[in-house]
Structure 1
Amino acid sequence: MDRSIEKLIEQLWDSYRKINPQADQIHQLLSDRGETIVNDHIAFRTFQDPRIGIDRLAIPFLEAGYQAAGEYHFEAKKLYARHFQHIDPVLPKVFISELLLDEFSGEFRDTIQRMLDQLPDMTSLTQPLCTAGRLWEVPYADYEALSEQSEYAAWMAAHGYCANHFTVFVNALTTIDSLQALNTLLVNEGFALNQEGGAIKGSPEVYLEQSSTIASVVDVPFNDGVHAVPGCYYEFARRYCQPDGTLFEGFVAKSADKIFESTDKKLQN
């Protein structure tokens, strides 16, 4: 395995754990059962802007040998996404989505523009964009205003560039034989799951089942002080073989649409 991409994934994981305390707890829970956890995919969020869009975020992965695979449209959430994968099956897939700013109101776009106006010269950025963190300052009032139209945008305003979630590849578990069984274990251990569209999104018929925790609430500094907002969540994916016998490697937009809501503050109530 390319050591540079391995180091990048380790760096992303270390940052992610700080925004999702559940990650270490779930790892410990599964490790105590003798499991070795395989990561199915890492997801990132961004805005539709050539300086910070999907193409820019994908650079370190493409340089490491990843290739573009599927693309996905989320009309209700006004998102476009693509996923990338590596010929080495040990490396996780990468899922990058971007918010289509042109489809929002002028006031909403103005709020985003105030953030993007603070971007540094991206050509001088000394680290991969996906590890850069938040590149702007924002008042909590703007966060709240954005969340009225898009919890995705509000999450980006708060956290910026980091892994939005990692994903346990359920197929690789040896003591748990279904996503339902894993969900039951997690609920019994006190983890809250995203129930939007049902705890399990997808089905064997679409060759993919997914579930996720509700994002941990974390303290984030805004211009007017620290506020508690949704951070990151942990996803779980079980993949099924297609009629030709190959394992389905893509994503299902209808299911992913509901998974996105794991960071919605309404689920915290």
Structure 2
Amino acid sequence: MKFSQQTTLDTFLNILFDRYQAKVPAVNQITEALIERGVVNSQQEIVNDHIAFRTLRVPHLGIASFEKIFLHHGYQKRDYYYFEGKKLNAYWYAPPSELYPRIFISELIVDELSAGAQEIIYRYTNEITTDPVDALDLDNGEQMGEFFHQSLWTLPTKFDYQTLLEESEYAAWVIYNRYYLNHYTISVHALKNSYNTLAAFDDFVEGLGIKLNTSGGKIKTSADGLLLQSSTVAEMQEATFAAGETLNIAGSYVEFAERRVLPEFENLPLKEVQAQHRRDGFETNNADKIFESTYMGQVVNTNTDR
């Protein structure tokens, strides 16, 4: 995931990843184990399939605002996804080159929530009267990196967070974490033999004592059988709310993806297989369950087991 910092995009993505890595223990734990076993020599050798962000569909925010950053740097908007039960929209964005990860951006359709949940969310987001991305210099990597870690609205109260959590765990996550990087994704098919299938990689991760998201099964598989995904469960972290109140809440997590070779290229020798020969895009059913890596049904059971 680490980049050479030769471009604005490199600088921006490195800032995002460095802060994410520092707060998600599983990132270093997995990387260090891969290095110890000779699978990779450094974090830079791990291919990042995609990174994901969460936002709210409210005036001046949401996908329409967020995507401007990536479109400016050559990303191309691709497929739309709708998650009815979770009340989410999402799109994925193809990178300007294979050096960079795909981007997956989702947004909560706030107007579909209860009146009480809407009131809480709008009480915070109504503070934003213009699109904050429009005020950024999109050619300044450091400024963009800092933007993703700044306060877009007032620090929420513990009561508001817990109220949202009862109706939409996604809403609660965003109201506290804002634009913080939700997860990065290891492309397991790019690793050495014995680690390059998701089943084998999941066994490796669990062998490190790291728990996996079991919603929909540990491995989530697309209808065509060509996209396999799994993820760790977010660690609980102490969060400080308004008035200094604290609460342990779900942080971010790590995802793993195996993109299999498309049927029309299945006879290609493995050494000739390139990214364009593998399954691209995402799958609604897979992503729906991956979202739950920060949900209390997964998080509480996992963290109390440790």
**Same topology, TM > 0.5:** yes
- 1:119 corresponds to: 128
1:135 aligns with 2:135: no
CA distances 1:197-225 after superposition (whole Å, capped 9, x unpaired): 10000158331000000001112110142
Using the TM superposition, give the Cα deviation of residue 58 of structure 1 relative to its aligned residue in structure 2, in angstroms: 1.6
Q: Which residue of 1 aligns with 2:197?
A: 178
Structure with bigger RCO (C-alpha 8 Å, 6+ apart): 1
Cα deviation for residue 61 of structure 1 reads 1.4
Q: In structure 2, give the amino acid aligned to 1:172.
A: A
- Provide the residue aligned with 1:91 in structure 2: 100
Gaps of 5+ in 1: none
Cα offsets for 1:122-150 (capped at 9, x unmatched): 24456438614442210111111111111
CA distance in 2: counterparts of 1:140 and 1:149, whole angstroms? 15
Give 1:177 deviation, angstroms.
Answer: 2.9
CA distance in 2, matches of 1:187, 1:76: 29
Question: Are the structure 2 counterparts of residues 159 and 133 from structure 1 closer, same or farther at C-alpha, using a change threshold of 3 Å?
Answer: farther
Q: Is 1:44 aligned with 2:44?
A: no
1:234 to 242, 250, 254: 254
Please state if 1:153 is matched with 2:184.
no
Deviations 1:224-263 (A, max 9, x none): 4222110000000000122343311100000100000000
Deviations for 1:46-105, whole angstroms, at most 9, x for unmatched residues? 001241111211222111111011111100100000000124111100000000011111
Q: What residue is the counterpart of 2:270 in the other structure?
A: none
Specify every segment of 5 or more residues in structure 2 that has no aligned partner in the other structure, as ranges.
138-142, 266-276, 302-306
Measured in 2, the distance between the counterparts of 1:100 and 1:3 equals 34
Count of residue correspondences: 269
- RMSD after superposition: 1.9
Larger C-alpha radius of gyration, 1 or 2? 2
Task: Name the counterpart of 2:112.
Answer: 103
Q: Residue 62 and residue 125 in structure 1: after superposition, are their counterparts in 2 closer, same or farther (change >3 A)?
A: closer
Aligned mates of 1:241, 1:174 — CA distance in 2: 16
The normalised TM-score by structure 2 is 0.83
TM-score of the superposition, structure 1-length normalised? 0.94
**Partner of 1:220: helix, strand, or coil?**
strand
Report what 2:12 is aligned to: 8
Match of 1:257 in 2: 288
